Structure 1
Amino acid sequence: MSSAPQLASGQRSQVFIGGPAQAQPTVLFETDELQIEAPNWSLDGKTLYVNGNGLLWALDVSTPESGLRHIPYDGLPELNNDHVLDPDGEHIFLSGNDGHIYRAALSGGAVERVSPDDGMWHFLHGVSPDGKRLAYVELKDFSNPGRLAVLPLTGGPVSRPDTGTGHIDGPEWSPDGEWIYFNTEGFTSAPGHAQLARIHDTSGEVERLVTSETVDWFPHLSADNQSAAYISFPPGTLGHPPNLDVEVIVVSSRDWTTPLQRYRLFGGQGTINVNSWSPDSTRFAFVAYPIAHDGE
């Protein structure tokens, strides 16, 4: 039996499209048959890639009514929602529920494990713009905080930049490769109080992006480096759980303190775990999980 997230009775997955100039997001696709998560937008702008029921699926942006198309892989373990496109536009990196990261063609077929057999869990979030390194969260076990790890795909040891003592998640490079953006619990002693930050890829300088009362996760920059989106959980939230009233917030990358758009929805885990910006940087995708009440 799959351990992947499942929809509750009366619940559905809704893929929304929003952007810096879009006050109200629009529904691209919805289903009550599958809990789909974490859209990636293809580099040609034609397809969204999502996970659901431990598998990878493709959704045509121009004809979403055609539904989800399963992408079959050989020997790939059940997937979670940490998957990121290879900059070559033809491959994808996938995190399996066995704790390893795999590289595969977007067309399906054989897969290659790329994470080391080091006894750690590896949760992928970022690929460097040149496609030569992966940024992931490294965990010995789930009682310890996650750490930033950077894996050179061409060989060599894993590096572990110092982001402080707090749990981190969501590390991904800026499009220019200068910074790695992430969320961290290291700025406060309040349990679970994640805030947004970035670390310089060469100097190791850490910079806090926002100071807020909310619990903020998964900063994602647009391809032109001008806009960003992230998810905001209610104060006191521990981790990034599902099924909460949350906000997806859009900002200018030059001013993270002033929201351009705020999208309120019922979601959380799965809504925007990975970068989902369109290649032209005008819009991005995210997922809500509304539950119908009796009589609706």
Structure 2
Amino acid sequence: MKKSKLLFLWITLILWNTSDAQKTGIFDGHGDIGINVKPGAATYIPESGQYVISGAGENVWADHDEFHFVWKKMKGDFLLYTKAEFLGNWVTYHRKVGWMVRKSLDGNSPHVNAVEHGDGLTSLQFRRTAGAVTEEIKSKITKANIIQLERKGSTYTMRVAKYGEPFVTEQVTNIDLGDEVYVGLFVGSHNADVIETGVFRDVRITVPFNGDADNSTQMTLGSNLELMDIASGDRQIIYTVPYSIQAPNYTNDGKSLIFNGSDGLVYNFDLKSRTPRLINTGTIKSNNNDHVLSFDGKMIGLSSTVKELGGSIIYTVPLAGGTPSQITPKGPSYLHGWSPDGKSLVFCGERNGEYDVYKVPATGGTEVKLTTEKGLDDGPEYTPDGKYIYFNSVRSGLMQIWRMKPDGSEQEQVTTDDFNNWFAHISPDGKGMVFLSFLKEEVVPGVHPPYKHVYIRYVPITGGTPKVLAYVYGGQGSINTPSWSPDSKSIAFISNSDMTK
């Protein structure tokens, strides 16, 4: 059902002011903050994942606030994300939508909020103590519709963007709201007599990893299996588990996804029933997140740890399951691509202390080294027409996307920006690619750890400025493998959160 129709259904509902005990979506309650505030309302639309919130109130400013708040209680650190927009024309340019963290539900409570105003002003606002005057840090951009607010101890970080662009960041420190706080979405009209409405989608509340994750970090956080529509950017969580699953591949018929679990096994996830089924891989049960489907959809290539052979070894097995065939004699060998004609596999292999891209017959045989530059070359993947192999390399400083002919010739750099870019996946129609981008402030070029702030970005195969499709808490295991739907309209990926708290 289209967004406009869903909103029409909501608008036809009678507005009411519910009690704070009324559960709405992932939130525990909602209600009006302040005294004698014109009643607001909140509705969750499961079909679209939208929260439609209406609120009035004189202002969220000075020494007290009036607005409508949809909240849940939380302790510890967290990361809040949404795509937020106003509904209808505005009456006053200071109407507000955003995230709010409050010590209490009192109107004069200490708080921090990340907010977009009706005129586009985007800012980080905070009241340090009860009844104190609100302070503000204005963002360098306006009209942001992507709003993220993170708490780490007493530090609050606002990250905002116009959808498709990287975040712009502001931060405030030494804000003590106590360990347990009210966390949620809010709408204020800046006019006591007027109700304004905000629409929030892709709402995510993430509990991050407790520590500094690196490549050796055991992946123990919970996982959200998400689908994203490329044209609209809309995201949908279709499966959630409190443990690690990684690297979803679409099957050729578009009816299921293949992913690996932290148990070293590989699963076929049926998209209709939303249930996983174990794929029989015989005695090969230490599979990692470097698995690839053949272009004809009949086979799956695996990368599985065999310590006595030097680490990850490549195997192939029918997608329906069976006895795997060993392809590489030694490791580490991490599979990333299968040629369209089914004859060759490409992988990242460590040989004599250097990680390079190699090609090997899909039935096994002699390895051919395709890259020779010093430093890590990783993530090789064929284009659907078989004319190029895309890969990522640190040879220019940061990790960037490169491509070459299938024989290793004509190696050329594709991305040239200020991120560490990994794992280019070419759409089945050959028109574009998605890849994972780490912030250089968080990781060094040669590593791709889990549990970081990452972007999934898209760029046409002909080039251009990459567009941010998804703002994700993840990294390792999010899109290590080809993740496009067969019709090139959507991608699958993994986001992470600690679901034990």
Q: TM-score, normalised by structure 1?
A: 0.87
Structure 2 residue 245 is the aligned partner of structure 1 residue 36: yes
Distance 1:265 1:155 in 2: 37
Distance 1:292 1:158 in 2: 43
- The CA deviation at 1:251 is 2.0
User: Deviation digits for residues 137-179 of structure 1, max 9, x if unmatched?
Assistant: 11137xx331010002356532112352221111010111111
Distance 1:70 1:203 in 2: 37
Maintained 8 Å contact 2:217/2:449: no
Distance 1:76 1:165 in 2: 32
Maintained 8 Å contact 1:230/1:250: yes
- The CA deviation at 1:19 is 3.8
Maintained 8 Å contact 1:124/1:137: yes
Partner residue in 2 for 1:166: 375
Maintained 8 Å contact 1:37/1:51: yes
Q: How does 1:1-296 map to 2 (within 5 A)?
A: 5-8=218-221, 12-32=222-242, 34-52=243-261, 53-64=263-274, 67-98=275-306, 99-115=312-328, 117=329, 119-140=330-351, 144-153=353-362, 157-162=366-371, 164-188=373-397, 193-202=398-407, 204-236=409-441, 237-238=443-444, 239-259=447-467, 261-291=468-498
Distance 1:163 1:223, change over 3 A: farther
Structure 1: gaps (5+ residues): none
The SS at the match of 1:212 is: coil
Structure 2: gaps (5+ residues): 1-215, 307-311
Distance 1:233 1:205, change over 3 A: same
Maintained 8 Å contact 2:370/2:407: no
Question: Match for 1:91: what amino acid?
Answer: M
- The CA deviation at 1:215 is 0.7
Distance 1:133 1:23, change over 3 A: same
The SS at the match of 1:80 is: coil
- The CA deviation at 1:62 is 2.4
Question: Match for 1:75: what amino acid?
Answer: T
User: Deviation digits for residues 106-154 of structure 1, max 9, x if unmatched?
Assistant: 2222111111x2x44211000000110000011137xx33101000235
Report the number of matched residues: 277
Bigger Cα displacement from structure 2, 202-211 vs 240-249: 202-211
Larger Rg: 2
Maintained 8 Å contact 1:14/1:288: yes
Question: Match for 1:27: what amino acid?
Answer: I
Distance 1:54 1:23 in 2: 31
Bigger Cα displacement from structure 2, 235-244 vs 172-181: 235-244
The SS at the match of 2:247 is: strand
Maintained 8 Å contact 1:20/1:227: no
Bigger Cα displacement from structure 2, 233-242 vs 121-130: 233-242
Distance 1:77 1:247, change over 3 A: same
RMSD: 2.1
Distance 1:146 1:179, change over 3 A: same
- The CA deviation at 1:202 is 4.0
Q: TM-score, normalised by structure 2?
A: 0.53
Maintained 8 Å contact 2:348/2:380: yes
Distance 1:159 1:196 in 2: 21
Distance 1:162 1:233 in 2: 23
Distance 1:47 1:231 in 2: 22
The SS at the match of 2:226 is: strand
